[in-house]
Structure 1
Amino acid sequence: VGEWFAGERYGARPDMIILAKGLTAGYAPMGATMVGQRVADVLHKPGIILNHGFTFSGHPLCAAIALRAIEIMERDRILDNVRDNQDRLAERMIALAGLPIVGDVRGDGFFYAVELTGDAEGGRFSAARHDALIRDLIPRRMREAGLLARVYDRAEPLLQIAPPLISTPELLDRIVEIIGNTLDEASSWLTTSSRLEAR
C-alpha cells in the first residue's frame, strides 16, 4: 500500500506486528515479531520471562539478506513508486466495476480484488458456470495474455492482483487491460450461455 506497514496508512498503531516473506524479498526464509513499547515494557519487567524457544533465530545469512533488501527498497525508493502510481491503478481498477460480471472492486496501493458475480439470485454462479469461468476461462485467458493473478474460488469468487512494487505506469495499464479484456470475454460468455440455457 506504499508504506512499510499498512497500519501506517490507516493510522493504526498495533501493539505487535508479525512479518515474514517480504522481509528478505523472498530470497531467504525469515520472519520477525516487532512489539511496541507497551509490550516491550511488560516483557522487560523483573521476574517476567517469555517462555518461548527459538530453534533457528538470528540466522546470520537471512539477517544479512533482510538488511540488504531493506536497504535496496530505501535506495530505489520503491515505496515512493507505489505512492506515485497508486491513484492511476485505482482509477483504472475502479473502471472495471462497469463490467456485468463485476460485483465490486476494492483495494489500495498495489493490492486489489475484483469480486465476480453470476446471474443467479444473490449473484452466485451455477456449479457448471463457476467451473467454466473461475477455474478455466478467466485464469487461462489471463495466463495466455501474460498475467498471473489469483482467482480465488473457495468462497465468493475474487480475482486478486498484487503487482510488483516496481511496476511502471505502463505495466499497471497493461495489467488492467488484460483483466478488462478477460472479464469482458467472461461477461459475454456468461450472457451467451444464459441465452442458450433459456431456449
Structure 2
Amino acid sequence: MTHILHRLIRHDYPRAATARGLYIHDRDGKAYLDASGGAAVSCLGHGHPDVLAAMHAQLDTLAYAHTSFFTTDVAEALADDLIAHAPPGMSHVYLVSGGSEAIEAALKLARQYFVEKGEKQRRHFIARRQSYHGNTLGALAVGGNEWRRKQFAPLLIETHHVSPCFEYRGKRDDETAEQYGQRLADELDAKIRALGPDTVIAFVAETVVGATAGAVPPVPGYFRKVREVCDRHGVLLILDEVMSGMGRTGTLHACTQDGVSPDLMTIAKGLGGGYAAIGAVLVGGKVIDAISAGSGLFQHGHTYIGHPVSCAAALAVQRVIRRDKLLDNVVQQGALLRRRLQERFANHHHVGDIRGRGLFQAIELVADRAEKRPFDPALKLNARIKAEAMARGLLVYPMGGTIDGVHGDHVLLAPPFIVQPQDIETIVERLGGAVDAAIAGVAT
C-alpha cells in the first residue's frame, strides 16, 4: 500500500535506498548502473562529496530567503558564473526550480519583451512537432508531442508547429543534409509569413531533441538558417537545453556546436545534477534592456526561485565539472559509447538508427530496417526494454511515440560525466541483452 500518486498507479516500484557514483542500490541490495542519469540529470553521479559539502555549508549559513525581500551571495555567485560561460549576448539569469518552470518563464519574458516595446499584437509561438518542453500548461502547449497534449488540448494556449529536424525520419533521399536544413528553415519562414511576421513572438526548439524522439541532433547549418529567419522577421529564438545542455553534448551549451546564440535559453537538469531542484533562463541583453527601459518589472515569480541551497548545489556542480575537466571526458567517453553502440547494434535487424552527441546517445528500434517501419505500439516495446534492462541492473530511458507521439520506440542513454571505459562496456553489454530479450519476447 502506498499513499503516493505514482506515475503508474498499478506498478510496483523498487525502493531506492542508497546511491554512490554511477550506481543506485535498492533496499534489497540490488545495484543498478545509472546509464541515463535518471532523465539526463545526474551529470556528476550520486553522492559527490564536494556538492554535498557545499549544500551542508549553505544550510548552516542560510537555508531560505524570499526573493521579494532579499538576494543572496550564493544566488549572485551562481548567476555570475553562468553568465561568464554563457553564449554571446546573454546578460542575466532567472533562477527557477526546474525545466518546465524555465520554459514558462521564457514564454512570459518573450511576450513581455514585445509588450514593453509597444508590439502588443505579437501573440504567436511556433515550435516543432515531436518536441518536448515540459508538462505545465504553457510548456505543454509549445511542445509538439500529440500524445501528451491530446487530453489537455482544451486548456492549452494556441501555438503552431513546424517539422522537426529529424534526419533519419525526415530527410529525403534526393536531398543533402544542407538542403534538408534549408527546406526546414523555409518551412519556418513560410509559417511566420502566413501568421503575419508582426504577430509572432518566438520560435522555440530543443537544440538536440531529448525525451520524445531520442537524442536527435540538428543537421549542420540548420540552426544558423533558423537564426537568420528569426532575425529577418524580428522573432525571438528560444532554445531549450534543459536536457541537452550544461555539458551533456560535449560543450557546456549544445548551441555552441551549431554556431548560434539564442535570445533566451532554458537550462535545468545538468545545472544542479539532481542534488537539488533548480533550473534557469539565460536572458539576452536586448530583452533585459527593453524591460528595464519600460516597466522595470518582470511580471512573474515562484516561491522557491533562487533557493540558496539549490544555488549552492548548482554552483558546486559547475565548479567540479570545470576543475576536473569533465567536458573532456564527455567528448572522449561519448565517442567510445558511440563506437561501442555501432559495433553492437549497427547490423542489428531491429535497430534502425544510432544517433546523438557526446554522452547523449540513442538507438531507435524498428520492426523492418529497410522500410524504417516501427513496431506496433500495442507491444509496448520500450517498456519491455526498460524492464529487461532493470532486471540486468541497468537504468536506461526508453520511450515510445518516437515518430508521431504514438508510433516508434527508442532508448536514450545519458550516463554521468564521470563514466569510464569499463562502465561503457557494461552499459552496452547489458543494453544489448535487454534489447534482444525484449524483442524475443515480442516475437513469441
- TM-score, normalised with respect to structure 2: 0.39
CA distance in structure 1 between the aligned counterparts of 2:438 and 2:277, rounded to whole angstroms:
38
CA distance in structure 2 between the aligned counterparts of 1:59 and 1:5, rounded to whole angstroms:
23
In the superposition, relative to structure 1, how do residues 63 and 117 fare at CA in structure 2: closer, same or farther (>3 Å)?
A: same
Q: Which digits, 9 at most, give the CA deviation of each residue in 1:101-148, with x for residues without a partner?
A: 1111111111112111125976232466x24x4333x22332222211
Residues 99 and 184, structure 1, Cα contact 8 Å, conserved in 2: no
1:123 paired residue number = 373
Q: How many residues matched?
A: 189
1:161 paired residue number = 413
Q: CA deviation at 1:84?
A: 2.1
2:281 paired residue number = 33
Residues 142 and 178, structure 1, Cα contact 8 Å, conserved in 2: yes
Residues 331 and 359, structure 2, Cα contact 8 Å, conserved in 1: no
Residues 106 and 114, structure 1, Cα contact 8 Å, conserved in 2: yes
Q: 1:171 aligns with which of 423, 428, 434?
A: 423
Residue type at the aligned position of 2:332 = D
Q: 1:150 aligns with which of 397, 402, 425?
A: 397
CA distance in structure 2 between the aligned counterparts of 1:46 and 1:135, rounded to whole angstroms:
51
1:64 aligns with 2:293: no
In the superposition, relative to structure 1, how do residues 135 and 33 fare at CA in structure 2: closer, same or farther (>3 Å)?
A: closer
Residue type at the aligned position of 1:118 = A
1:70-81 map, 5 Å: 70-81=318-329
Q: CA deviation at 1:149?
A: 0.8
Q: 1:114 aligns with which of 356, 363, 370?
A: 363
Residue type at the aligned position of 2:357 = D
CA distance in structure 1 between the aligned counterparts of 2:270 and 2:416, rounded to whole angstroms:
12
- Structure 2: give runs of 5+ residues left out of the alignment: 1-248
2:354 paired residue number = 105
Residues 388 and 437, structure 2, Cα contact 8 Å, conserved in 1: no
| SS of equivalent to 1:98 | coil
Q: CA deviation at 1:54?
A: 4.0
Residue type at the aligned position of 2:374 = R
Residue type at the aligned position of 1:5 = H
Q: Which digits, 9 at most, give the CA deviation of each residue in 1:138-193, with x for residues without a partner?
A: 22332222211122124311111111111001111221122223334445556x64
CA distance in structure 2 between the aligned counterparts of 1:122 and 1:2, rounded to whole angstroms:
29
Of residues 163-172 and 149-158 in structure 1, the stretch that sits farther from structure 2 once superposed is 149-158
Q: CA deviation at 1:67?
A: 1.3
| SS of equivalent to 1:106 | strand
Indicate the RMSD between aligned Cα atoms, in angstroms: 2.5
Residue type at the aligned position of 1:25 = G
In the superposition, relative to structure 1, how do residues 22 and 124 fare at CA in structure 2: closer, same or farther (>3 Å)?
A: closer
Of residues 142-151 and 163-172 in structure 1, the stretch that sits farther from structure 2 once superposed is 142-151
- Structure 1: give runs of 5+ residues left out of the alignment: 194-199
Residue type at the aligned position of 2:263 = D
CA distance in structure 2 between the aligned counterparts of 1:80 and 1:46, rounded to whole angstroms:
43
CA distance in structure 1 between the aligned counterparts of 2:283 and 2:389, rounded to whole angstroms:
41
1:1-16 map, 5 Å: 1-16=249-264
Write 1 or 2 for the structure with the bigger share of helix: 1
Q: 2:265 aligns with which of 9, 17, 24?
A: 17
Residues 99 and 183, structure 1, Cα contact 8 Å, conserved in 2: no
Residues 349 and 368, structure 2, Cα contact 8 Å, conserved in 1: no
Q: CA deviation at 1:55?
A: 2.9
Over the matched positions of the two proteins, sequence identity in percent amounts to: 35
Residues 364 and 411, structure 2, Cα contact 8 Å, conserved in 1: yes
Of residues 35-44 and 118-127 in structure 1, the stretch that sits farther from structure 2 once superposed is 118-127
Residue type at the aligned position of 2:425 = D
